[in-house]
Amino acid sequence: MTLPIADRTITELSQLLRERKLSSRELADACLARIDRDAERLNSFLAVDADAARKEADAADAALARGDGADRPLLGMPYALKDIFVTRALDDDGRDLPGGLPTTAGSFILEGYRSPYASSAQERLESAGAILLGKTNCDEFAMGSSNENSAYGPVRNPWDEMTVPGGSSGGSSTAVAGGQAVFALGTDTGGSIRQPASLTGTVGMKPTYGRVSRWGMVAFASSLDQCGPFARSVRDVALVLGALAGHDPRDSTSVDTPVPDYAAALTGHVKGLRLGVPREYFVAGMEPGVEAAVRAGIEAMRGLGAEIVDVSLPSTDRGLATYYIIAPAEASANLARFDGVRYGLSAAADEILENYTHTRGSGFGPEVKRRIMLGTYALSAGYYDAYYVKAQQVRTLIKDEFDDVLSTVDAILAPTSPTVAFKIGAKVDDPLAMYLNDACTLPVNIAGLPGISVPCGLSDGLPVGLQVIGRAFDEATVLRVADAYERAAGFSDFRPPTAHD
């Protein structure tokens, strides 16, 4: 089947651009047409700058005409940024322009805010020649598993508009799944790239903590947040990660370690690799169709010559409680800066405390308020040792267990999400049920390890994701395993039925 231009991979499109069989302007227009067509249906974008995108596309076409595209696979590729990354506008000489795209973090408290500087992610993708289309919808301040917590309304899954796309990066996953962008960036604090990738049938990767700069990302939980890409193939993800990765002195958590050629690691072969399958990741409540698809994916890896090893990560069931102490505690500190004084919403009041109260009360949504209260409680006098310190001790235990297992295997295979996409509204009144959606992903954040979700089939007509987890800073092996599976499984044309023109 020949896919429409807007549904093809970076690898295919880059070749067409270099051969001058397609222009970047035509590709940008195809994506913009999808954005316009599905704006109300999917609600995946919060801001789009079509004029700027077309101008950048014309510049990319000029560069391609000069022969600049040979070693720049992202040149001319339209992409989207989760609205958690600050952005700025530049003129042809690289000078700041007034205006630019707003950064709201999906919250009313930052409605209309425009940053005076760009995120590291935007800068690096600009240098690679990629074309920013706009900013995608997300759960408010990246807090959520369904993208129903955005102040600007829920995002809808292009596979079934009555279901969620996952969160918190649901706008970015939907943009890629629906052909509105060739690739997109999200953030992953407890699964917010991998889980929506699983639910929308895309490929999504969380790199090792410290591999990609967090400069210019609105902070949720600073010891857990990490930037990563969504794309339509593992090779596409490898290409985007190669552009993003690397040390950034502006980010104190950025690690100065060499960045390998990720695309070169995609050999298509896993024969001889030892791949662990942790029994604890097939959690209670996992849908039978999800488990069947994941186990079939694991058997496919065995068929490719990998050695499948049963392993144990016994503290997995403590991950959820650990995460929901550490993450809210860090959020309560990070979100204290939104007080109506320096930027964002300010509720007029005679007294400063009253101004704080009114601003935060009207600007933050229910889920953000819930997590701020949880975090403040965990850090308060009398409870700090009992909760926060204990959670950090369990965090060390979880990391040590991963390290022990990964000293005996090359990577770990597991489900990404215990369920397929669920109906919009189905879990909004049950926070615990919502939080359990990340049971298979958040331990990876706690340990700071790289993980990727790759499509492994359908259950009830909706996508299922297979998760590959690796050693710290060994994204190359994670990508190699995921790519070998993707090639063998034959999901290269895995697209929603409603995506095609």
What are the catalytic residues? 82, 168, 192
In angstroms, rounded to a whole number, what is the distance separating the alpha carbons of residues 243 and 319?
Answer: 31
* C-alpha 9: how far from chain center: 18
Contact 289, 198 (CB under 8 A): no
Read out DSSP for 147-206? S---TT----BTTBTTB---SSSHHHHHHHHTTS-SEEEEE-SSSTTHHHHHHHT-EEEE
Three-state secondary structure call for residue 310: strand
Give me the count of residues in the chain: 501
Alpha-carbon Rg for the chain, nearest whole angstrom, is 21
**Contacts of residue 328, Cβ cutoff 8 Å, sequence gap at least 6:** 221, 371, 372, 374, 375, 378
Q: Would you give the end-to-end CA distance of the chain in angstroms? A: 13
Helix orientation angle between 475-489 and 288-303, rounded to the nearest 10 degrees: 100
Torsion from C-alpha of 207, 209, 211, 215, nearest 10 degrees: 110
**Contacts of residue 249, Cβ cutoff 8 Å, sequence gap at least 6:** none
Three-state secondary structure call for residue 135: strand
In DSSP terms, 277 is beta-bridged to: 310
Percentages of the chain per state (helix, strand, coil), in multiples of 5: 40, 15, 45
In 3D space, the residue among 276, 230, 270 whose CA is nearest the CA of residue 481 turns out to be: 270
Q: Kindly state the tokens that stand for 440.
A: 């298979």
Phi, psi of 195 (to 5 degrees): -65, -50
Three-state secondary structure call for residue 139: coil
Strands 131-136 and 45-48: antiparallel
